[in-house]
């Protein structure tokens, strides 16, 4: 009888081990809500999802001026200032110059630009293997950073900000 119970317990542990392993494969997801900044009236949500080594950002915004806007990850998960200056500068853990994602030099927070339609609605979808959610690697981990939407497009040249204008929405990237 002891042998049957031991076999049952071992089988149960193997099943539990497999189950927890498969649930880890479903990924890690953070859902965020943007705060309006600089009296802009901009609202929206952002979702970061990690599957394997790839993180996908989907941000949906409303209340923007029609046209092109920049979105960046900033140094701090602090949206307390009315103009979101409390979020600090662009997240740049590798100490590179500001630029366009994928060029020779760019900040890890230099996501890029997206377009708002005539009604002020805009969506950006961005995927990378250069970020992680809660992995602890200071050069990749987006936890405790800020996600900022700007009033203007990023010119990918002006240092260190891209001349993207006012910060019109902010969300802390926290678990």
pLDDT at 20: 29
pLDDT at 14: 35
Domains of the chain, CATH where assigned = 28-173 (2.60.40.200)
Q: What is the pLDDT along the chain (175 residues), one digit of tens a residue?
A: 444 344 333 334 333 333 322 233 346 999 999 999 999 999 999 999 999 999 999 999 999 999 999 999 999 999 999 999 999 999 999 999 999 999 999 999 999 999 999 999 999 999 999 999 999 999 999 999 999 999 999 999 999 999 999 999 999 999 8
Q: What angle do CA 30, 35, 37 make, to 5 degrees?
A: 140
pLDDT at 16: 36
CA distance 162 to 156: 5
Identify the residue whose tokens are 């990924």.
27
pLDDT at 63: 98
Instruction: Determine how β-strand 145-150 pairs with β-strand 67-74.
Output: antiparallel
pLDDT at 27: 63
**Measured CA distances, 70 to 28, 150, 155, 165, 166 (Å):** 25, 5, 9, 9, 10
Q: What angle do CA 62, 155, 35 make, to 5 degrees?
A: 30
Secondary structure of residue 62 in the 3-state scheme: strand
């Amino acid at each position: 009888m002891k042998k049957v119970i031991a076999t049952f317990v071992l089988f149960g542990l193997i099943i539990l081990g497999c189950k927890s392993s498969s649930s880890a494969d479903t990924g890690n997801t953070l859902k965020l809500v943007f705060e309006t900044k600089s009296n802009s009236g901009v609202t929206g949500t952002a979702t970061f999802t990690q599957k394997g080594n790839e993180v996908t950002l989907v941000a949906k915004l409303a209340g923007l001026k029609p046209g092109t806007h920049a979105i960046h990850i900033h140094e701090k998960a602090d949206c307390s200032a009315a103009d979101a200056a409390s979020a600090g500068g662009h997240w740049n853990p590798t100490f590179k110059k500001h630029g366009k994602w994928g060029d020779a030099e760019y900040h890890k927070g230099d996501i890029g630009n997206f377009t708002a339609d005539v009604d002020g609605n805009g969506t950006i979808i961005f995927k990378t293997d250069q970020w992680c959610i809660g992995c602890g690697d200071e050069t990749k981990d987006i936890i405790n950073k800020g996600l900022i939407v700007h009033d203007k497009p990023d010119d990918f040249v002006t240092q260190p900000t891209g001349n993207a204008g006012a910060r019109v929405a902010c969300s802390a990237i926290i678990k």
